[in-house]
């Protein structure tokens, strides 16, 4: 059985490129993104971590309990969120040129700006889009990672600084008669990679949080499990960083608590922004979406970071609170939601048609409990990680996930993984070498190839030309390196 590509094209095949639909109200839309916040670290679902503001949003809105990214690394995922394109199509990651002109002009903030919204961006950017930021955003505050910032004469945590800049936009008088869309991208809880001693930073008021609790062991975190990993994973940056994050029981307790405190700091900042919405009298007119940009290994298999294909890497929190939709209060949705669904969802909430190029789907029908949409929703998705830095080892991957199966191909290292998620949701047993599972392994491998071909076919001519040039340059660099080794 080969994969059906109808879901890739989404509902937009018959839609015009842009154009406003009739809508009784055009809400403000606030999209909040946290860095390295994985799906299970929400207080409502976790026995230790405290996130009262996110819990409140979850209880008032809809939680997508099976939300994933198509590439588990921040820069690529953020471009996928903005463009509703997979990495295979937009071809952006660290070390690559800016996204193409068409891709840059199709980001949801620009489309909404072109359709009467004021658009804003605050916080971590760390991507490159073609064109000028002022053509896409009316309010643009890009920030590099720091621990604290001097703001209005006071030294405050960067997390709160981001919240203050968001509040400043919300309070602008220009918004009085114009709907707005704002992306607020927090740096936390991302590690400060230059600070190996402490890694995670947070507002000082959270120093006592989790002080007197013991963090349970991560799954598969003992030496025996690590010893079963192939050598290329044992030598990857995931294990290098593990050594100074979680390499001893004492270090594990320290770092996980610091990571949790950083998440609690983001949670407070979310509450600060919501309080400003209430102060301005627009909380009931503002849709709030909260998500993480990728998952995160926290000592699972003695690895740190993301980049791989396990659930820890791919799954994210996704909460959508639309105060106008009372029927959605407190509901959970188990359908597979993706980061590439966020842009079409935001456009649909604003009553604006999505571009034909979008590969994600609007989640609005699911928010509205449309049974037909639920019955016909995607049953699988493709994921990958193409970034290959020169200084550290991150093995590239491609793969796909269905409701039952997870297939991962570390294609540069001739190593495959296959998990039966129904019988083995923890992904403990790799079935790739099981004689009884060779048929499903072959099928999923072929379906993954079909996704790759289709997503590459959807690249614009600009991206195709750029990719060809970059690949040729990389091949030449690699050949020069080999030649130097023999000299």
Using pLDDT thresholds of 50, 70 and 90, give the confidence band for residue 474.
low
Report the sign of the C-alpha dihedral through residues 288, 294, 298, 300, in that order: positive
Q: Lowest-pLDDT range, 18-27, 241-250, 299-308, 315-324?
A: 18-27
DSSP per-residue letters across 275-288: HHHHHTT-GGGEEE
Question: Is residue 373 classed as helix, strand or coil in its secondary structure?
Answer: helix
Q: Which residues pair with 184 in a beta bridge?
A: 32, 122
The model carries a pTM of: 0.92
- pLDDT at 25 (0 to 100): 77
The answer, yes or no, to whether the previous bond of 200 is cis (omega within 30 of 0) is no
Neighbours of 450 (CB within 10 A): 16
Mean pLDDT of the chain: 92
- Where residue 61 falls (left for φ over 0; alpha for ψ -120 to 50; beta otherwise) is beta
φ, ψ dihedrals at 425, nearest 5°: -65, -20
Is 80 exceeded by the pLDDT of residue 202? yes
- Please enumerate in sequence order all residues whose Cβ is within 8 A of that of 20, keeping only pairs 6 or more positions apart, or say none: 115, 116, 351, 352, 353
Using pLDDT thresholds of 50, 70 and 90, give the confidence band for residue 402.
very high
Is 325 in contact with 27 (CB distance < 8 Å)?
no
140-195 residue pLDDT tens: 999 999 999 999 999 999 999 999 999 999 999 999 999 999 999 999 999 999 99
- Please enumerate in sequence order all residues whose Cβ is within 8 A of that of 347, keeping only pairs 6 or more positions apart, or say none: 108, 111, 112, 353, 354, 362
Instruction: Show me where the domains of the chain are located.
Output: 25-378
- pLDDT at 96 (0 to 100): 87
* Percent over 70 (pLDDT), the chain: 91
434-458 residue pLDDT tens: 999 999 999 999 999 999 999 999 9
Q: 405-410 and 415-420 as β-strands: parallel, antiparallel, unpaired? A: antiparallel
Nearest to 403 by CA among 305, 339, 335: 335
346-397 residue pLDDT tens: 999 999 999 999 999 999 999 999 999 999 999 999 999 998 777 779 999 9
Is 401 in contact with 380 (CB distance < 8 Å)?
yes
| Domain 25-378 superfamily per CATH | Alkaline Phosphatase, subunit A (3.40.720.10)
């Amino acid at each position: 059985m080969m994969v059906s590509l109808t879901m890739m094209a989404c509902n937009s095949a018959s839609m015009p490129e842009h154009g406003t639909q009739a809508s009784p109200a055009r809400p403000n839309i606030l999209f909040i993104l946290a860095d390295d916040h994985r799906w299970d670290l929400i207080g409502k679902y976790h026995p230790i971590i405290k996130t009262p503001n996110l819990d409140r949003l979850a209880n008032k809105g809809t939680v997508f309990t099976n939300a994933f990214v198509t590439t588990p690394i921040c820069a690529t995922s953020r471009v996928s969120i903005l463009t509703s394109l997979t990495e295979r199509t937009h071809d952006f990651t660290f070390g690559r040129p800016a996204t193409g002109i068409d891709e840059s002009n199709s980001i949801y903030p620009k489309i909404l700006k072109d359709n009467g919204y004021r658009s804003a961006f605050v916080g971590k950017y760390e991507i490159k889009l073609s064109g000028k930021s002022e053509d896409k955003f009316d309010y643009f505050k890009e920030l590099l990672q720091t621990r604290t910032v001097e703001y209005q004469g006071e030294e405050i945590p960067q997390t709160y600084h981001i919240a203050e800049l968001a509040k400043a936009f919300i309070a602008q008088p220009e918004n009085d008669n114009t709907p707005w869309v704002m992306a607020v991208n927090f740096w936390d809880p991302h590690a400060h990679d230059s600070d190996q001693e402490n890694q995670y930073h947070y507002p000082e008021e959270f120093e006592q949080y989790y002080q007197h609790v013991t963090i349970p062991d991560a799954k598969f975190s003992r030496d025996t499990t690590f010893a079963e990993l192939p050598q290329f994973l044992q030598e990857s940056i995931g294990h290098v960083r593990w050594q100074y994050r979680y390499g001893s029981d004492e270090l594990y307790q320290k770092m996980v608590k610091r990571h949790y405190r950083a998440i609690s700091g983001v949670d407070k900042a979310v509450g600060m922004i919501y309080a400003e919405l209430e102060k301005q009298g627009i909380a009931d007119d503002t849709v709030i979406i909260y998500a993480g940009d990728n998952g995160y290994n926290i000592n699972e298999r003695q690895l740190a970071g993301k980049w791989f294909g396990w659930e820890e890497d791919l799954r994210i929190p996704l909460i959508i609170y639309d105060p106008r939709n009372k029927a959605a209060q407190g509901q959970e949705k188990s359908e597979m939601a993706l980061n590439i669904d966020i842009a079409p969802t935001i456009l649909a909430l604003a009553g604006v048609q999505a571009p034909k190029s979008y590969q994600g789907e609007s989640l609005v029908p699911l928010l509205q409990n449309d049974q037909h949409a639920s019955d016909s929703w995607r049953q699988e998705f493709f994921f990958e990680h193409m970034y290959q830095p020169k200084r550290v080892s991150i093995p590239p991957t491609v793969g796909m996930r269905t409701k039952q199966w997870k297939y991962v191909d570390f294609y540069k290292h001739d190593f495959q993984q296959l998990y039966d998620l129904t019988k083995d949701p923890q992904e403990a047993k790799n079935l790739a070498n099981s004689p009884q599972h060779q048929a499903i392994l072959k099928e999923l491998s072929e379906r993954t190839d079909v996704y790759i071909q289709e997503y590459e076919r959807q690249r614009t001519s600009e991206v195709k030309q750029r990719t060809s040039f970059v690949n040729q340059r990389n091949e030449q660099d690699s050949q020069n390196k080999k030649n130097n080794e023999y000299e």
